[in-house]
Structure 1
Amino acid sequence: MRESEAGLRERLVDVGVELLASEGVGALTLREIARRAGVSHGAPRRHFPTHLELLSAIARRGFAELADRATSAVEGVDGPRAQLGALAREYLRFAVDRRGMYELMFRHDLLKSGHLGLRDTSLPLFGRLVELVGRVRPDLDARLAGGALWAALHGTGQLWGWGSLQLAVGTSDFDRMVDAVLAVHLGPEEA
C-alpha cells in the first residue's frame, strides 16, 4: 500500500527530528533523511523544494514542542515573577536537553527565510515573555527588557550546554543560575 503524500511529508520531518536528536544539525542532509526514511534521494524534493524548507519544517516541530513545554511549565504557577521563572527554566532545559533542535530553531537563515511561518511560530513565545516582564517590571519598556532577558537566556543555554558557564561561575546549580539571570534583568525578587 502506497504511503500518502501527507504521510510521507510527515515521515520525512519525523526522520529529520530523530536524526537531529541523535547526530546533530550537521547530519541533516536531504540525502540522509531520504535514506533513513527509505525513499529515493529525490523524494524529499517533492515536498520540500529546498533544503531550507525541510529544515524549517523540522524547526517548526521544535518551536511547537518548546511552546507546549513552556505552557505546561507555567500552568498552576501563581504570579508573573514565578511564571517567568518557570518559563525561563523550561526554556533553558529545552536548550540543554534538545541542543541540536535548539541550534536549528534559531538559525538566522531559517527565521529570515520565512519558510513555513517560523516567525509566526516563534514570536508568540517571545510575546508571552514580554507580557510577563511587563507585569513584573511595568516601569520598563517590556519589549526591550524582554529582548535583553531572552538574549541572556539564549546565551546562558548555549554556554550551559557547552559546560563553559559551570566552569566559569563554579557551580552546576541550574536553578541558581536561572535565578541570577532573572535578578540581573528584573531586579531582586520581592520578599
Structure 2
Amino acid sequence: MTKPNLAELPDEDLMLLVAGGLIEPPAAELFRRHNKPLFNYLAWLCGGNTHEAEDVTQKTWLRILTRCADYRPQAAFRTYLIQIARNIWLDGRKSAWEVGKVNAEELPDVPSEDLSPEAELVLRQNVQGVRQAILNLPVPQREAIVLRFFHEMSLEEIAATVGEGFETVKSRLRYAYGRLRSELEALS
C-alpha cells in the first residue's frame, strides 16, 4: 500500500488523519497551508495588534491539536479553523464589539512591484489609507470585509464562520461598503 501524498490531500482528509492519531505530518501540512492566512485574519481582527494575533494563532493551533478527536468535517476546514480562532479571540475580549487600539503600521505589507520611488510612495500611502479605513470599521463589519475579500469566502461561509444569519452578514457588508466609500472619498 502506498502512502498518500499529503500535499495532494484536501484539508478535511488531513484533519481526519490528525484526529485518527497520525498527528505530525498532516498537522504540519495544515499549518503550512493555513498559518499565514490565519495570522493575517487575526491581525485584522485584532486591529493591527500583531502580538495579540500571534498569541491567538498559537492558541488556535494548540486547540486544534488537543481537541482533534472531536473534529467532524461538517464544514470546510478553513471555516472550522477560523471559527476556533474567532472564539478564542472573543473569549479574550470583554465584549464582542470592543475595538482595540488600531495600529495599521503592524499589518502585513503589500509586496512592491517594479515601481519608481515616487509611485511606490503614492501606492504605500493609498494602501495605508485603505488599511486605516478598514481598521476604523466596527469589528463585525471589519471581520466581514476581511473574510470576504482577503479570504475570498462566500457569504454563506462567512455566516457559518461567525455564527450569524446570511442576511446579517449581507447587511454588515453593505454598511461596511458605505463607510469605506465615505472614508476613501475623503482621502481623494
Bin of the TM-score, shorter chain as denominator length: 0.3 to 0.5
TM-score (norm 2): 0.32
Under a length normalisation based on structure 1, what TM-score does the superposition of the two structures give? 0.32
Q: Which has the higher helix share?
A: 1
